[in-house]
Chains A and B, each alone.
Chain A
């Protein structure tokens, strides 16, 4: 591929060609360019290096770079595919792709499993589930007694852990999700189909040749 050096300078190290990203995801090349507008904004909010740092991610979600939250941490970790502490453009697009309405359910199920497998053991364990329920209750200020929390966790766990070995494996998770499809609602953002209209500044900045449309 022919490169024009002056153009290269416009992009940061993690930049990837939109046509490549589009071919690997449910996004069109224009949608990838529109996502780049969002990415530029997020990745320049504090460190201005074209990479999304944890603080910038927290700033985007909470409007506060210092605020921490278990779920936001998990999302960040999963977006940081290379696990080097920052989200690059390619990682950003590929991860958001999980949330695209056209992405196969299997990918969403797998992503949700990784999300809830807090300690990366390959299983969702009872104490992880309880930790997440308590975190949500804490973040939302909902008051439930310990007994009630215990009952809910116990009941859910007994439903999901069909093999009864005290932990939920990926197959059990898949089965449980198929019985409770509402659990995947979070994994689809219909809004992602509208990116070209939500971040229209890409129309001015587009670098696509006519032939690539």
Chain B
């Protein structure tokens, strides 16, 4: 059933096409478990990088199958402008192909070796982007554990992309073992607690590596150099760093708080983000992490304009009977794919504009961020250290001239927090509107 001799005969080998979609190009790099090729999508022309992994090699190395599955699923959720994006995964009997964003500009180690140390402004920008990406990962329980200049790519716009998550994360246990038993890797980025072979807090170890990267960007060389393994280990354990005179005192001050051997006393990601050195020219990254589901709703936030513009000009969706039917989550096969969103529906006889302003008040009262476009209100919870913030999109539509329907959909964040917000804030807030407001249903896909 699964040999296709006839087909092979019919199609003589032309160009090596993968999945009838990708034209495989030159070899970009070779690692322990994988080779990376440049490739091009034949219909869109998009360039991608494809990591080819030999199944026999990874399964030989104690890596469990579940581990690889989990890692792919985790990477899939890491959509951040400073993280190399995963597009799709392919597999044959013998190989796994991981299709990722192709980043043209090469890695930061290469950049340093050609350009030398970077200016403080440029180094700061890369560091800010790195910290944004790392914070994003940590919030999702993902720890890179192999942050180094070679894994930081730069795109044509000069923006940083954190890469090599997949395999370094997949291969993490194996790699760590290799690193410390044989010293075959470059331990220059490794935090002292890892040298001690003790259980360690991966988030704090990532901070250390970020410090090594920052030092490298600004000095043009690494703080712990591999002249002699033993001496280097000693200096890492003591957090002994000699700062070049060219470093500003703010920069040295920040690095000094990173290179603290005791991980519990080391500065954290959020503390780094509060320092004045970091904050300079810092532009908060707008996360498009969950925008894929929002393709048909655009948000153009023009401050202060939401209520000044003439209400007549704003588009109010008028629902017909089929629209009502299509509210049924079961028509969307909700539940089958485990990403079931949560929705709540309300009807109200209040004025639609009044409803929109009430929604904005409710969100404002708990300090959430509100953006309104026409009759769509996007509500975002506060940024959180460990989790994705809550994100709810509420759409107000007209059912009849006297009845409006309000649909509140969870687009991101924790389900319990969503329920709590709906029960304690949204429902009472809407129910206190003039006119009858009724609500009931909450349809939630079960995770």
- Which residue numbers of A lie inside 8 Å of B, CB to CB? 1-4, 7-8, 17, 19, 28-30, 33, 38, 42, 60-63, 69, 71-72, 75, 99, 115-116, 129-130, 132-133, 135-137, 139-144, 148, 151-153, 155-157, 159-160, 180, 182-183, 185-186, 189-191, 194, 196-198, 200-204, 206-213
Contacts and interface: CB of A to CB of B under 8 A. Distances in A.
A54 to B, nearest CB: 13
Interface of B, secondary structure class, is mixed
Contact of A156 (B88, B322, B326): B322
Contact of A203 (B69, B293, B339): B69
B90 A213 contact: yes
Interface of A, secondary structure class, is helix
A146 to B, nearest CB: 13
Given A198-B76, A200-B69, 4 more contacts: A60-B336, A62-B335, A144-B399, A156-B320
B186 interface: no
Contacts of A75: 330-331, 333
A105 to B, nearest CB: 15
B93 A152 contact: no
Nearest to A10: B1
24 contacts: A2-B1, A4-B1, A42-B336, A71-B330, A75-B333, A115-B331, A136-B328, A140-B443, A141-B440, A142-B438, A143-B347, A148-B402, A152-B320, A185-B296, A185-B326, A197-B72, A200-B69, A200-B72, A203-B68, A203-B69, A206-B91, A206-B93, A209-B2, A213-B92
B322 A1 contact: no
A136 B324 contact: yes
Given A30-B91, A99-B333, A191-B339, A183 B322 contact: yes
B337 interface: yes
A148 B19 contact: no
Interface of B: 1-8, 18-21, 55, 65, 68-69, 72-73, 75-76, 86, 88-97, 292-293, 295-296, 317, 319-328, 330-339, 345, 347, 399-400, 402-403, 405, 438-441, 443, 446
B92 A28 contact: no
Most-contacted residue by chain B among A38, A136, A152, A200 (CB, 10 A): A200
B93 A140 contact: no
Contacts of B405: 142
B371 to A, nearest CB: 21
Contacts of B330: 61, 69, 71-72, 75
A152 B367 CA distance: 38
A210 B347 contact: no
In order of increasing CB-CB distance, the 5 nearest A-B pairs are A141-B440, A140-B441, A200-B72, A197-B76, A156-B321
Contacts of A204: 55, 65, 68-69, 91
Contact of A19 (B4, B94, B296, B323): B4
Contacts of B94: 210
Contacts of A142: 345, 347, 405, 438-441
Nearest to A155: B320
Contact of A208 (B92, B336, B347, B446): B92
A188 B89 CA distance: 22
B93 A207 contact: yes
Contacts of B65: 201, 204
